[in-house]
Amino acid sequence: MMWNKSIDVYWCPLGGKTTADMKRISTVSEMLWFEPEPVLKHIVQERDKHVAFLKCPAMVDLYKNVFMVRSPMDITLSIARDDKGNCVVREHSQLPTFMHDFIVHRDSIQNSRFPMISISICYLMYTKKSLEIEVMHPSLSAHISTGLRGVNLICGKYDISKWIRPLEMAFEVHDDTERIEIKRGDPLYYFRLNTDKKINFIRKQLNELEPVIHIMDSCLSVKSFVQGNSMEKNYKLAKPLIERNKDKLFDKKCPFGFGK
């Protein structure tokens, strides 16, 4: 049946640490953010279609629905130490407001041996049917910026039909003596959508997504009040809110798949 061969994934480019920032910056993210790019296609472009591991069915199956997120801008970060030995993060490529809008220095809220940073270059994704998304290191990209080789990407996974929150890049810095230099177009991370079905990406604009943004804000806020939850407990908390808004979240379609 035609309607069983693909799954719709709604997505929107976002930038900024808060909803207010995202709304203010949406005109920039709409223009600069790249579309999700199939990693298998990217591998061929960097090498060629005859590369040996692309003939391995185990590898091809693993990367079938893996996509790449590229940096929409140049970013240069450095880490220094103040008089008390605390980390201070600075950005050198963008306007001074970039640090306030996009960079989260997590040392004050995380217990880690290494400095932790998030870059709020975000992709919001959600779907009607259960679908798990998984953030992955961009390990098969040949042109990863030199600065990214000294960081450890923090990966994770969750069901984008049951928990609506943006993807972002979070990482530990293993060598804080080197600047982290990222160029526009550099791979930041991969994400896998755990299904054998074809992914049909449906792009949305932020001004179309008020109910989705409301759910997103709720999901992001929960951890400040109920800490240490498993994802299954989070899904149960979010379920009533998602159910109440379901009619507003998805495009209306013919139930028989006509018009595709």
pLDDT score recorded for residue 1: 44
pLDDT score recorded for residue 258: 52
What distances in angstroms separate CA 47 from CA 2, 8, 239, one per listed residue? 34, 30, 44
Number of helical (H) and strand (E) elements in the chain, helices listed first: 7, 14
pLDDT score recorded for residue 110: 61
pLDDT tens-digit profile, the chain (260 residues): 445 689 999 999 999 988 889 999 998 999 999 999 999 988 888 887 778 888 888 888 889 999 999 999 999 999 888 887 778 888 998 888 898 899 988 875 566 678 889 999 999 999 999 999 999 999 888 766 776 777 889 999 999 999 999 999 999 988 888 889 999 999 999 999 999 999 999 999 999 999 999 999 999 999 888 888 999 999 999 999 999 999 999 876 655 555 44
User: pTM of the predicted model, to two decimals?
Assistant: 0.89
Residue 47 per-residue DSSP state: S
pLDDT score recorded for residue 149: 77
Phi and psi at residue 29, to the nearest 5°: -65, -35
- Closest alpha carbon to 24 in 10, 14, 12: 14
Residue where the block lists tokens 């994704």: 125
Do 121 and 169 meet the contact criterion of CB atoms below 8 Å apart?
yes
Please report the beta strands in the chain, taking only residues with DSSP state E, as ranges in sequence order.
6-15, 37-38, 66-70, 75-81, 87-91, 103-105, 116-126, 132-136, 151-153, 157-159, 166-173, 180-182, 187-193, 198-203
Per-domain boundaries in the chain: 8-205
CA angle, 157 then 159 then 164, to 5°:
100
Q: Which two tokens stand for residue 128?
A: 């009607």
pLDDT score recorded for residue 52: 81
CA torsion through residues 147, 148, 149, 151, sign: positive
Which of the four CATH numbers 2.60.98, 2.70.40, 1.10.287, 1.10.10 does domain 8-205 have? 2.70.40
